[in-house]
Every structure is written in C-alpha cells, then in structure tokens.
C-alpha cells in the first residue's frame, strides 16, 4: 500500500496546474447514460474515483475512449474522454461496484429516465456520516417513480416516462439535485426544484445537459426549472477547474509560506473560502492565468469558520483548514454543519502535536508554535490532504498511510507540490 513521505520546512514557490473537478466530472460522466449519442468531456481528472465510475458505466454498456492529453500538459494529467451509451445492456448497478464510491448511486436518475427502471445498490463511500439517500428517492417519487428497497437495493420503476412535478428539498443536497436534474431532463412536462443546491458543479451539469438539448433554467439559484424533452443528443463539454483542489493548495501555501500561481483556477468558484484564507494572512491575487497565493513568513491569524452550502465555506475544505489552523497564533473554532462524524482527522493531527478539542460539531483549535513529524493515517479523502498540509510545516518527517483515499480526489498531488520545492514523495510498497 502506497504512502506519502513529507519532510517539512520548505517554502513552496512556482506554478501548480489545477485539475478538472472530480465533483463535476462524476455527474457529467453519469449524464452520458441519458443519450445514445457520444458525450465528449474535456478536462476529466485522472483519479481513482473516475476510473471506478468508468467501470460502473461500462457495466451498463457505456463505451469510452480517451483522447490525447491537453496541450502543454504533463502525461497523466486531465484528459478528454468520449462516452457513448448506444444501448443500455444492464439497468442494475451491483453492490460490489456501488459500495466503493457513493456517487455511483446517481446512475439511478438517468437509468430510470431513459429505461423506465433501475436497480441500484445502496451506496458506500467515505466514512463521514450516514448521508442517507431519502431525498433522492422522495424526489424521484415526486416524478412518478415507484420505489422499493429490497435486500440492500433500491428498485425504481415507472410506467413509461417520468412526469414533471414540483419538488421542494427539505434540506439542500448536491447529490439529489444532480440526480433530479438528470431525471427531469427526460420527464414529460415541467419540473420545478426548490431549495436546490447552488454549487458550481450543479451549474456545470446543467450547462452540459443544455448543450445536449435539455431545457434547464435557474441552475446556480435555489429554484431550478426543467422542461422535459423527448430525447437528448451528444455534446462536447468541459469540466470546470476543481475548487476544492484550488482551496487545498491555497491553504498549503498559507501553511508553508511561499508564492504560487494556481494555474487555471477560478476565484468565482470558491470566493467564500478564498476570503477566509485571506483573513489568515495570505495574499490572494487574481491573475490572468488563475490565482496567485503568497505568504511572506508572517504568522497565521486564527479565523473561525462554519461550513455551509455554496456560496459558503465548503465542507470539503474543512479538514484542510483545520490543518492550517493548527499553527495559527491563537484559538480558532471550526463548526461542521453538513456532515456528522467529519472530524476523524483530529486524532491524526494530534499525533503531529496539534491541540484540538471537540465540542459537538465544533472543533476548537489552539494553535501551536511548531508541529513535529510522525506517522499518520488518512481516514477519508479530505482528511488525508489535511495531514499533508500539516506535514509541509512540521519539523522532520511525516509519513501519511492509506493514501488511496487521497488518490480518489487529488491528481498527482506529490508531483505538483514537489515541483514547487516541497520535499514530498510517494513510497510504493
């Protein structure tokens, strides 16, 4: 099992290319099930989760081909991939595939909309809380689906096409918003989704579906209107840059010090998080090629944050921000409102010398003058990279175990950081 070895203390300077967003690429790939034409996606990141979803889509009959790498890009970075679901050969998504990645449950929407039936295993994924699928199922029922849960599988059927309807999400759900947008695109009549998620990845999906012939308005607001169409065609669409990767590297610069251009980053995708990082003392400067982040060696100011749906501070940056706050000059409070059980990284940061106490859904971080390297273990995708951020500033050697979590969401992280002067390497077992 691979490990990441870090020797802290180096400032990071240079340029880091921001990859395509995993959280945008996955629903876009799933959208290929909605048409028998080819959907070509540009800027698809090379990640374990993407490869797993390719296998899942292949189980349903989706063919794929990979074009050459982007111009002036190193081998292995984001790719252009063609997805063609000429015919759906199987409407069942089995446990052995779905249990490895939660987002694969989302195939239920397109399969039901196009084929009138779907049998999908209840999902797996990171151990950061239950994250039930009740909103997905309630929304599909509002569109006319009959839903049963048997032996760990959701069995969804409809007589003919789904039917447009009004559905109000009891709470904001990015995943359920993705699924219902896709399902409603082929429904008969108009669907109105209220209290919908507003994340940039939702907008990216809606733009892709519109390019395929869907009629969707309001994406990026809390009310989305979908006029169903009889069929969708192929299209060519680009995955947006990864705002979570952007925020992660911005925090790495704030932690270690240095001056880095995040190439291809878009500030509008995470302005709330950038504002918080700026409050810690780092400079955030928009430039033509992306975002420049620098910290000249001054201390890290403590900042209180609460995770919120977009445009608030993302839950997927909470662990990284906690890593940054471990060396702040004072106390900070980090409150998690999106997922329960998302403080599993606290004990691992403590192994590096961090002082963190938990009070319900709030972590109180008492910044220390120095961290010391130690062996640590990644517990989920975002927690793994919080340990990398802490290790960049810790004295001595930090070894992060179970980095398969990290490989799910960060494309060649060790290469990007080592290219900017960090002492970081992958150790293959």
Domain boundaries, the chain: 3-18+241-427, 22-238
pLDDT of residue 105 exceeding 60, the answer is: yes
Residue 331, C-beta contacts closer than 8 angstroms, at least 6 positions apart:
302, 364, 365, 366, 367
* Binding-site annotation: residue ranges: 22-23, 102, 131-135, 171-174, 316, 338
From the list 158, 43, 45, the residue with the least C-alpha distance to 110 is 158
The C-alpha atoms of residue 181 and residue 165 are separated, in whole angstroms, by 12
From the list 427, 346, 410, the residue with the least C-alpha distance to 379 is 346
Tokens of 175: 């995943």
* Binding-site annotation: residue ranges for phosphoenolpyruvate: 22-23
Give the Å distances, CA to CA, from 308 to 173, 204, 380: 12, 20, 20
Tokens of 219: 């994406």
Same fold: 3-18+241-427 with 22-238: yes
* Binding-site annotation: residue ranges for UDP-N-acetyl-alpha-D-glucosamine: 102, 131-135, 171-174, 316, 338
Identify the weakest region by mean pLDDT among 4-8, 69-73, 188-192, 268-272. Answer: 69-73
Report phi then psi at 211, rounded to 5: -65, -25
pLDDT confidence of 68, banded at 50, 70, 90?
low
22-238 has which CATH code? 3.65.10.10
The C-alpha atoms of residue 355 and residue 365 are separated, in whole angstroms, by 6
From the list 376, 352, 384, the residue with the least C-alpha distance to 365 is 352
List, for residues 346-381, the tens digit of each pLDDT value: 999 999 999 999 999 999 999 999 999 999 998 887
pLDDT of residue 70 exceeding 50, the answer is: no
**Beta strand extents in 253-325 (DSSP E only):** 258-263, 283-287, 290-295, 305-306
Kindly list the strands in the beta sheet with 362-366, ordered across the sheet, starting from the edge strand earlier in the chain.
305-306, 331-335, 362-366, 355-359
3-18+241-427 has which CATH code? 3.65.10.10
pLDDT higher at 67 or 170: 170
The C-alpha atoms of residue 305 and residue 308 are separated, in whole angstroms, by 9
b/e per residue 108-121 (b: at least 16 CB within 10 A): bbbbbbbebbbbbb
CB-side neighbour CA atoms (13 Å) of 158: 26
Q: Which residues are catalytic?
A: 126
What pLDDT is recorded for position 128? Answer: 30
pLDDT confidence of 429, banded at 50, 70, 90?
confident
The C-alpha atoms of residue 31 and residue 208 are separated, in whole angstroms, by 9
List, for residues 202-252, the tens digit of each pLDDT value: 999 999 999 999 999 999 999 999 999 999 999 999 999 999 999 999 999
> Average pLDDT of the chain?
93
pLDDT confidence of 72, banded at 50, 70, 90?
very low
Q: pTM to 2 decimals?
A: 0.94
Pair 368, 394: CB distance under 8 Å? no
What pLDDT is recorded for position 123? Answer: 80
pLDDT of residue 306 exceeding 50, the answer is: yes
pLDDT of residue 254 exceeding 70, the answer is: yes
pLDDT confidence of 1, banded at 50, 70, 90?
confident
Identify the weakest region by mean pLDDT among 121-130, 158-167, 196-205, 219-228. Answer: 121-130
CA angle 36, 41, 47 (to 5 degrees): 115
pLDDT of residue 315 exceeding 70, the answer is: yes
From the list 164, 170, 229, the residue with the least C-alpha distance to 196 is 170
What pLDDT is recorded for position 124? Answer: 54
Kindly list the strands in the beta sheet with 190-194, ordered across the sheet, starting from the edge strand earlier in the chain.
166-168, 190-194, 223-227, 215-217
pLDDT of residue 9 exceeding 80, the answer is: yes
pLDDT of residue 201 exceeding 90, the answer is: yes
pLDDT of residue 21 exceeding 90, the answer is: yes
What pLDDT is recorded for position 129? Answer: 39
Tokens of 396: 């001595």
Q: How many CB atoms lie within 10 A of CB 67?
A: 12
What pLDDT is recorded for position 189? Answer: 98
What pLDDT is recorded for position 75? Answer: 47
Mean pLDDT of 105-124: 93
Mean pLDDT of 182-199: 98
Q: What helix, strand, coil percent values describe the chain, rounded to 5?
A: 35, 30, 40
Peptide bond into 112 cis (omega under 30): no
From the list 193, 222, 217, the residue with the least C-alpha distance to 207 is 217
3-class DSSP assignment, residue 170? coil
The C-alpha atoms of residue 98 and residue 213 are separated, in whole angstroms, by 29
pLDDT confidence of 130, banded at 50, 70, 90?
very low
The C-alpha atoms of residue 355 and residue 55 are separated, in whole angstroms, by 42
């Amino acid at each position: 099992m691979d490990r990441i070895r870090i020797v802290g203390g180096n400032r990071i300077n240079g340029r880091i290319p921001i990859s395509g967003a995993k959280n945008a690429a996955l629903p876009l790939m799933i959208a290929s099930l909605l048409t028998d034409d080819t959907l070509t996606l540009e800027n698809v990141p090379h990640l374990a989760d993407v490869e797993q979803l390719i296998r899942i889509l292949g189980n349903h009959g989706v063919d794929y081909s990979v074009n050459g790498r982007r111009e002036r890009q190193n081998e292995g970075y984001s790719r252009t991939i063609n997805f063609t679901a000429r015919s759906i050969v199987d409407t069942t998504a089995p446990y052995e595939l779905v249990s490895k990645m939660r987002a694969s449950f989302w195939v239920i929407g397109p399969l039901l909309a196009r084929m009138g039936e779907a049998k999908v295993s209840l999902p797996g994924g990171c151990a950061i809380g239950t994250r039930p699928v009740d909103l997905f199922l309630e929304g599909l029922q509002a569109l006319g689906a009959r839903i049963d849960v048997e032996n760990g599988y959701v069995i969804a059927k409809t007589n003919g096409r789904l039917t447009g309807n009004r559905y109000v999400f009891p709470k904001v759900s990015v995943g359920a918003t993705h699924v219902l947008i896709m399902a409603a695109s082929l429904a008969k009549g108009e669907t109105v989704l209220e209290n919908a998620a507003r994340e940039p990845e939702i907008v990216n999906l809606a733009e892709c579906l519109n390019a395929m012939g869907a009629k969707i308005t309001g994406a990026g607001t809390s009310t989305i209107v979908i006029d169903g169409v009889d069929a969708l065609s192929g299209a060519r669409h680009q995955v947006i840059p990864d705002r979570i990767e952007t925020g992660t590297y911005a925090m790495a610069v704030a932690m270690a010090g240095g001056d880095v251009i995040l190439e291809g980053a878009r500030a509008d995708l995470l302005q709330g998080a950038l504002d918080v990082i700026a409050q810690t003392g780092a400079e955030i400067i928009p430039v033509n090629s992306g975002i420049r982040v620098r910290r000249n060696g001054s201390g890290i100011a403590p900042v209180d944050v609460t995770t919120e749906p977009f445009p608030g501070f993302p839950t997927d940056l909470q662990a990284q921000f906690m890593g940054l706050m471990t060396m702040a000059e004072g106390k900070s409070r980090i409150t998690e409102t999106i997922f329960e059980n998302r403080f599993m990284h606290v004990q691992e940061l403590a192994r590096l010398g961090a002082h963190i106490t938990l009070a319900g859904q709030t972590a109180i971080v008492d910044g220390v003058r120095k961290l010391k390297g130690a062996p640590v273990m990644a517990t989920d995708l975002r927690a793994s990279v919080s340990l990398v951020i802490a290790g960049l500033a810790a004295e001595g050697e930090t070894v992060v175990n179970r980095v398969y979590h990290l490989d799910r969401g960060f494309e060649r992280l060790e290469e990007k950081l080592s290219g900017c002067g960090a002492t970081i390497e992958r150790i293959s077992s």
